[in-house]
Amino acid sequence: MTEQLDAGVVARQIKEGDLLGGPGGGREVGRARRRKEDARLVTGRTQWTDNIQLPGMLYVAFLRSPMAHARITRVDTSAARTQPGVVAVYSGQDFAAEQGSLPCAWPVSEDIVIPDHPPMAVTEVRYVGEAVACVVATDRYKAADALDAIEIDYEPLDAVTDMTAALDEGSPKVHEAGNKAFTWKFAQGDIDAAFRDAAVVIDRTYVQQRLIPSAMEPRAVVAQTDGDSFTLHSATQIPHVLRVMLALTTGIPEHKLRVIAPDVGGGFGSKLQVTAEEVLCLLITRRLGKPVKWTESRSEGNLTVHHGRDQLQRISVAADADGRIRGVKVDLLADMGAYLMLVTPGVPLLGAFMYSGIYKMDAYDFTCTGVFTTKMPTDAYRGAGRPEATFAIERAVDELAAELGMDPIELRRRNWIRHSEFPYTTICGLTYDSGNYEAATDRALALFGYDKLRAEQADRRERDDPVQLGIGVSTYTEMCGLAPSRVLGSLAYGAGGWEHAGVRVLPTGKVEVVTGTSPHGQGHETAWSQIVADALGVPFEDVAVIHGDTSSSHKGMDTYGSRSLVVGGVAVVQACEKVKENAKQVAAHLLEASPDDIEFSRGEFRVRGTGASRTIQEIALATFAAHNLPDGFEPRLDADATFDPDNFSFPHGTHLCAVEVDTETGATKIRSYVAVDDVGSVVNPLIVEGQVHGGIAQGIAQALFEEAVHDADGNLLTTTMADYLLPSAADLPDYTTDRTETPATTNPLGVKGVGEAGTIASTPAVVNAIVDALRPRGVQDVAMPCTPERVWRVLDQAGTAPRAGAQTTEGGPA
């Protein structure tokens, strides 16, 4: 595609003043507003947790296990205690009586084993990096120095690093109860009938490699107490959930614990956690009565921020000769790591309902076994279960197309839910409210120049060009807007999925919005301002958004699972409706009319059929003065709302990726990438585009670059950013993005969520493209990340790699 086209698409999306409509034909919703958040972020006035310095503050440093599995036989902290600046040194034994167990909020099955998870190891360590002791000192350098003086003896135990081997009878055990955490099954339809006599059966195993989420801001915690109550600042996505969980874990009463998430530098699920360090910093400040701070180093974070993915997926697809899918069977092994953290066991199950993707079928069978290993626990990472599911089904559908000699788009057309069939209840039991897969795909094909690229591909194959072209298709959907509380209850999750909002109208007519969502880069301050500006008819600039502090935003379920707009934004709308209803009572009274005769439009309450009106600002001031209000009227316009959705939302889209694979070197270059997403109605196209871009980048990163690698003893080898390859600008292409808009029918904004879409869609698009490039050379799969070495080795094994020789001096693996 041309640069001109890219620019045109982009310009269409983010043109200032672009009006895409919204509640009441609003002026703000749909507009590419520049973000309010940026002012502090581009000038260095951000409030990161590590910025906080308090009088008398002490610094905590953790000593971490150098072994994946060992018994602690001796701890001697005496030498460390005498180091300069050292205030205290603690080992697990010192906390044993009070530290409790880190919570798992998602006991997914009856048979689940939830091992005790002490924040600091007391007798046994089960992954490299587990905290075994800590130093509290007067500055961060002294704290780090004193760690060297702590002596700990270990008796090594066998590491358990392979999920499949872990389930063998004779495997060393991670926990006394064994290595199986749970088994979870789900089935619909007659799966045996679907596979019996099927013309084609595709049977594949895919490896979802372990990933390190790598938010740019490392975790940090500041804990303080006045002797009665506690305040915890943390770089967290979930201040509200964290408060409840910390109260339950530490015994500090909930009303004596304030949790603040100040500016938070990215999360991607990695800060959706109750961490050992948060608990321990609270316990330390309780003991010492002094404020304490802990900030992790990146290499500490790579070891001890929960990891993502790490599943072994066996997927079988049965189809008729014409390509109609009859049924899908999935057997999943999911690596839990050493313990079950906040939602560890639930992550693969969030994918359980997505293996049917956008396709119709007669039967579905899903089994997931959670397995303990001696590695850092896994938990939510952008998409959490849904990228894995989407990868498997989209890869398998491409394989099916290849098996049938059919174009992968055509095969999808034959199976997907047609626009006219919505709402549609899938074989997995979800009711997709809306969507238009035809429209998104047609648009993507046009932007991509699909037919032209196919012609070029044929030409390169014909010429046996050493650089082959591959085209990858990914027609994804996802369930987001987490989540209807009843559904979460039926899945044994420990909390609900509602969200809270409060809208306060100040005497001068300015508006404060209190939200239970907890943004860490998503731009809620801007988007919520747009929503409120339209709902109440106040200027965008007159709205402030308050979040992330349990004392000012007392109620919430926080930010993850593409839920903030779909659930939290709707709560904001509902609170605004109540505010308007209150204001209407006042307006009617001031205008001496019946409330039934009052119309509201763009901030004005008007008596129908007359010119008499009051602005919302006038009503705010009149309500504040309270001199002349209706009898019995409580003098306030403010209102709260808590919204619990009836259904998930289902964004979808079509992503197309063209890659050039150098069969001599194994190197993959993304030649073009087109994403047409349907995330329903859009509040701010600029923010949506940003979320899509970033999501695509993370999905590409899984496909091409990233992998947490352990050796046979369970040591993480990718502990730094020098070893764990986060892509830079030079490693990634530009993207062509566009949207179709099929509004969600399940919420008044028509929104579907966009936080995870790009990540879910892009990984299979890239790998499908690589396999498509190499298929004529006998390649059916390349394990992720598809590094040059991996690609080269796959070609080498297939016997189709050009041998290094006369024409080239490069090409071998490094």
Partner 1 sequence: MPRISVTVDGIRYDEEVEPRLLLVHLLRDRLGKTGTPIGCDTSNCGACTVLLDGRSVKSCSVLAVQADGGDVVTIEGLATGGTWHPMQKAFHEEHALQCGYCTPGMIMAAIDLLHDDPDPSEEAVREGLEGNLCRCTGYCTIVRAVRRGAREMSQEMPREGMATP
What one-character DSSP code corresponds to residue 338?
Answer: S
Q: Do 244 and 258 meet the contact criterion of CB atoms below 8 Å apart? A: no
CA distance 199 to 323: 9
Residue 35, interface with partner 1 (CB under 8 A)? Answer: yes
Residue 46, interface with partner 1 (CB under 8 A)? Answer: yes
Residue 325: which residues within 8 A CB-CB, separation 6 or more?
317, 318, 319, 359, 360, 361, 397, 400, 415
Residue 299, interface with partner 1 (CB under 8 A)? Answer: yes
Tell me whether residue 102 or residue 682 sits nearer to partner 1 (CB atom): 682
Residue 682, interface with partner 1 (CB under 8 A)? Answer: no
Reduced to 3 states (helix: H, G, I; strand: E, B; else coil), residue 574 is helix
CA distance 400 to 756: 26
Residue 263, interface with partner 1 (CB under 8 A)? Answer: yes
HSE on the CB side for 381, CA within 13 Å? Answer: 24
Residue 285, interface with partner 1 (CB under 8 A)? Answer: no
CA distance 185 to 368: 6
Q: Which of 601, 610, 720, 745 binds partner 1 (CB under 8 A)?
A: 720
Residue 730, interface with partner 1 (CB under 8 A)? Answer: yes
The piece of 91-99, 258-266, 320-328, 392-400 that touches partner 1 (CB under 8 A) is 258-266
Residue 690, interface with partner 1 (CB under 8 A)? Answer: yes
What is the nearest approach in angstroms of partner 1 to the Cβ of residue 40?
8
User: For residue 790, which amino acid is it?
Assistant: R
The piece of 83-91, 295-303, 428-436, 576-584 that touches partner 1 (CB under 8 A) is 295-303
The piece of 293-301, 317-325, 432-440, 787-795 that touches partner 1 (CB under 8 A) is 293-301
User: For residue 496, which amino acid is it?
Assistant: G
CA distance 240 to 673: 38
The piece of 40-48, 313-321, 406-414, 660-668 that touches partner 1 (CB under 8 A) is 40-48
Residue 547, interface with partner 1 (CB under 8 A)? Answer: no
Q: Do 354 and 320 meet the contact criterion of CB atoms below 8 Å apart? A: no
Q: Which of 27, 298, 314, 454 binds partner 1 (CB under 8 A)?
A: 298
What one-character DSSP code corresponds to residue 364?
Answer: E
Main-chain dihedrals φ then ψ at residue 236, nearest 5 degrees = -125, 155
Tell me whether residue 302 or residue 468 sits nearer to partner 1 (CB atom): 302
What is the nearest approach in angstroms of partner 1 to the Cβ of residue 113?
34
Residue 523, interface with partner 1 (CB under 8 A)? Answer: yes
Residue 53, interface with partner 1 (CB under 8 A)? Answer: yes
Residue 254, interface with partner 1 (CB under 8 A)? Answer: no
What is the nearest approach in angstroms of partner 1 to the Cβ of residue 162?
29
The piece of 151-159, 214-222, 574-582, 787-795 that touches partner 1 (CB under 8 A) is 214-222
CA distance 14 to 556: 31
Which of positions 111-150 make contact with partner 1 (CB under 8 A)? 139-141
Query: According to the 3-state scheme, what is the secondary structure of 680-712?
Result: ECCCCHHHHHHHHHHHHHHHHHHHHCCCCCECC
Q: Do 137 and 87 meet the contact criterion of CB atoms below 8 Å apart? A: yes
Cα torsion for 102, 105, 110, 111, to the nearest 10°? -40
The piece of 82-90, 110-118, 516-524, 663-671 that touches partner 1 (CB under 8 A) is 516-524
- Which strands sit side by side in the sheet containing 604-607, from one edge to the other? 598-601, 604-607, 613-615
Place of tokens 């301002």: 529
Residue 266, interface with partner 1 (CB under 8 A)? Answer: yes
Residue 446, interface with partner 1 (CB under 8 A)? Answer: no
Residue 57, interface with partner 1 (CB under 8 A)? Answer: no
Residue 2, interface with partner 1 (CB under 8 A)? Answer: no
What is the nearest approach in angstroms of partner 1 to the Cβ of residue 221?
15
What is the nearest approach in angstroms of partner 1 to the Cβ of residue 264?
7
Residue 169: which residues within 8 A CB-CB, separation 6 or more?
none
Q: Which of 12, 34, 71, 803 binds partner 1 (CB under 8 A)?
A: 34
Place of tokens 């990438």: 673
Which of positions 693-712 make contact with partner 1 (CB under 8 A)? 693-698
Residue 85, interface with partner 1 (CB under 8 A)? Answer: no
Q: Do 422 and 650 meet the contact criterion of CB atoms below 8 Å apart? A: no
Residue 663: which residues within 8 A CB-CB, separation 6 or more?
466, 467, 468, 774, 777, 795, 800, 801, 802
Q: Do 569 and 579 meet the contact criterion of CB atoms below 8 Å apart? A: no
CA distance 578 to 572: 10
Residue 653, interface with partner 1 (CB under 8 A)? Answer: no
Q: Which of 732, 741, 802, 808 binds partner 1 (CB under 8 A)?
A: 732
The piece of 391-399, 580-588, 656-664, 727-735 that touches partner 1 (CB under 8 A) is 727-735
| CA distance readout (Å), 282 to 253, 256, 330 | 13, 12, 43
Tell me whether residue 475 or residue 691 sits nearer to partner 1 (CB atom): 691
Residue 530, interface with partner 1 (CB under 8 A)? Answer: no
Q: Among 572, 545, 566, 589, which residue's Cα sits nearest to residue 639?
A: 572
Residue 64, interface with partner 1 (CB under 8 A)? Answer: no
The piece of 20-28, 43-51, 600-608, 764-772 that touches partner 1 (CB under 8 A) is 43-51
Tell me whether residue 42 or residue 814 sits nearer to partner 1 (CB atom): 42
CA distance 208 to 561: 19
Residues that bind partner 1 (CB under 8 A): 14, 34-35, 37-46, 48, 50-51, 53, 139-141, 214-218, 263-266, 268, 297-299, 520-523, 686-687, 689-691, 693-698, 720-722, 726, 728-730, 732, 734-735, 758
